[in-house]
Amino acid sequence: MKTKNLMVTGGCGFIGSNFIHYLLRQDDFTGRIINVDKLTYAGNPDNLEGIEKNYPDRYIFERADICDPGLMEDIFSRYGIDAVCHFAAESHVDRSIKDPGAFIYTNIVGTFNLLEAARSHAGDFILFHHISTDEVYGSLGKEGLFKETTPYQPNSPYSASKASSDHLVRAYGKTYGLPVTISNCSNNYGPYQFPEKLIPLIALNAKEGEKLPVYGDGRNVRDWLYVEDHCDAIWTIMKSGRRGETYNIGGNMEMENIVIVEMVCDMLDEITPIHRGKNGPRKNLITFVKDRPGHDRRYAIDFTKLQNELNWSPKESFESGIKKTISWYLENSKWVQRVKNNEYHSWISEQYKL
Ligand code: NAD
Ligand code: TYD
């Protein structure tokens, strides 16, 4: 992968920032990263603290909205962008249910703008890698796994907007011959995840002895992948994946939500007894709340294509990954305090009314 000027969109978000940390450590990446991020509520420059200083010639930050086509074209020209790794998105299902508009603009129109910029620089352009989700495939019953050939059946405005962007990327490959790859990944967890998502939300509430909201009966299943394994899979696909192809990425780690919540409670009880005058095990804080509308029951990924073609498989076990994650949130209280700003508090109180 001989990219000289790689545009990473959404590099201040959870997976994007992990990817930038990961990529700058790889011997087989020698190019420069141009991180394009609008810094929405989910974008946090703290996730990349020290990067500008440590890699002054290899990292540039551009605060920009991918929904602005003129600006995207300008950034492509100015930096000679020859590849894109596209993370930027509105990413939270619950927010897409409350307010779908931003998901349509950023996830669909924003992706279209980037594809157009890439198309207009087609001569020098090496790869457009699009980061997507397994949620485009809809919901599974008790049996079966999502394959790359599973028909799309998105159920939330979030997954519908991601499905739409996947189709656009694929179409630009077929119609214009743009070199594209797409990856559809299962649920990630790890450092720098915004605490509106299940694992960091539960870990931080449990730490503080606050209620732990579990949707419906808590028996919905997700397939969990440690974020660093996701980054490794993305780079593997960018380097060696067949152009025009889609690759599923998963953790082989199906878990019911309630099992994860209980595990996080037990781990925190072991590390630190509950405080603020609250007694008993943290499991007592579990509160079943009204289910999410259209809540997908089960996701599970078949990633044999990635395994067989590119020899990738996840390295981190859930036990060690979740331990590292919990420790990271406990050790980074400054990061947590800064993330829990007014917008965060109003979202949480509006969403849960616990
Ligand atoms: P995130 O919400 O943590 O980060 C999104 C980033 O995109 C933020 O930095 C935000 O500022 C930026 N952004 C949003 N709108 C923008 C715009 N209009 N212009 C420029 N930047 C903008 O998301 P994440 O969890 O890191 O997810 C990254 C990607 O991975 C998304 O495309 C998501 O669909 C996909 N994905 C996520 C998961 C998961 O478990 N989190 C799983 C599979 C796929
Ligand atoms: P989430 O982290 O929002 O990811 P996604 O919806 O993209 O899979 O949610 C993961 C699972 O946890 C999902 O089944 C919804 C559930 N959930 C809760 O039970 N309580 C919560 O507070 C949150 C945020 C999620």
CA distance 151 to 157: 17
Between strands 254-256 and 221-226, the pairing is antiparallel
Protein residue with its CA nearest to atom 12 in ligand 1:
10
Res. 272 pLDDT band, cuts 50 70 90: confident
User: Which ligand 2 atom is the nearest neighbour of the CA of 351?
Assistant: 22
Neighbours of 122 (CB within 10 A): 11
Domains of the chain, first to last = 5-189+224-249 (3.40.50.720)
Which single residue is written with the structure tokens 């781990």? 267
For ligand 2, atom 25, the nearest C-alpha belongs to 198
- Indicate whether 171 pLDDT > 70: yes
Residue nearest to ligand 1 atom 41, measured at CA: 188
Percent pLDDT > 70 in the chain is 99
What number is the average pLDDT over the span 38-57? 97
Nearest ligand to the C-alpha of residue 41? 1
* Nearest atom within ligand 1 for CA of residue 194: 3
Structure tokens at 130: 């699009």
Task: Provide CB contacts within 8 A for 56, sequence distance 6+.
Answer: none
Closest ligand to C-alpha of residue 67 is 1
Out of 14, 106, 194, 234, mutate this one to test ligand 1's pocket (max ligand atoms within 8 Å of CB): namely: 14
Please tell me the number of the ligand nearest to residue 91's CA: 1
- Residues annotated as catalytic (active site), given as ranges: 134-135, 158
Average pLDDT over all residues of the chain: 97
| Strands (E) located in the chain | 5-9, 32-37, 59-63, 83-86, 127-133, 180-185, 187-189, 212-215, 221-226, 246-249, 254-256, 286-289
Q: Ligand 2 test: best mutation among 98, 134, 222, most atoms within 8 Å of CB?
A: 222
Of the listed ranges 28-32, 55-59, 206-210, 242-246, the one predicted with least confidence: 206-210
**154 touches ligand 1 (CB under 6 Å):** no
The tokens 């962008």 sit on which residue? 81
Burial class (CB in 10 A: 0-12, 13-18, 19+), 315: exposed
Distance from the Cα of residue 277 to its chain's centroid = 36
Instruction: Say if residue 153's pLDDT is above 90.
Output: yes
pLDDT of residue 274: 74
pLDDT at 77: 98
Q: Which atom of ligand 1 is nearest to the CA of 91?
A: 2
Mean pLDDT to the nearest integer, 186-212: 97
Among the atoms of ligand 2, which is closest to the Cα of residue 202?
A: 22
- DSSP-derived secondary structure letter, 201: H
Task: Quote the DSSP letter at residue 65.
Answer: -
> 25 with 4: CB under 8 angstroms?
no
Confirm if 326 and 268 have CB atoms less than 8 A apart: yes
Inform me whether the pLDDT recorded for 127 exceeds 70: yes
pLDDT given for residue 276 in this prediction: 61
Please determine, for residue 275, whether its predicted confidence score (pLDDT) is greater than 70: no
Residues 223-267: tens digit of each pLDDT: 999 999 999 999 999 999 999 999 999 999 999 999 999 999 999
Would you place residue 222 in the very low, low, confident or very high pLDDT band (cuts 50, 70, 90)? very high
Amino acid at residue number 34: I
Q: Does the Cβ of 169 fall within 6 Å of ligand 1?
A: no
As given in the structure block, the two tokens for residue 271 are 């590390």
Burial of 244 (0-12, 13-18, 19+ CB in 10 A): middle
Over residues 102-124, the mean pLDDT reads 97
